Amino acid sequence: MNLLIDTNVAIDVLLRREPYYKGSARIFLLSEKGYVNTYISASAATDIVYILRRELKSGDAAVKLLAKLLQTAHIASVTERNIREALDLGWNDFEDSVQYTAGKSIPADYIISRNPKDFANSQISVVTPEDFIS
């Protein structure tokens, strides 16, 4: 089973943000044990480093945390086709539409996000980490 992990869920784990950490971390534990395949989009990788660098005030620490995440998660490519398709979707949040098109390319069985409503028009099931676990 393939899971595309939304940026907010990955950051919750890497920064141990409460009250979200425990549920989000369980998704990656399932991946470590081989029950699911987790992916982040290539565009999310750059967003994650940007946000971590800002929060941690260290580019080196941000890159090391991304490298640690990539011991468990795979990268879903973001191609020109994904970007063009995301533009054509006309969603309010372009980043979410890019995540969605990358998820379609994997193909993802689920998108794991704290904000499923942001993916209201998704043809891929979108659930919170807690809902996926239960």
**pLDDT (average), residues 101-107:** 98
- Mean pLDDT, rounded, of the chain: 97
Q: pLDDT at position 40, please?
A: 98
Q: What is the pLDDT of residues 15-69, one digit of tens each?
A: 999 999 999 999 999 999 999 999 999 999 999 999 999 999 999 999 999 999 9
**pLDDT (average), residues 70-85:** 98
Name 109's Cβ contacts closer than 8 Å, sequence gap at least 6.
Answer: 1, 2, 3, 124, 125
Q: Which amino acid is at 56?
A: L
Q: Which amino acid is at 129?
A: P
Q: pLDDT at position 90, please?
A: 93
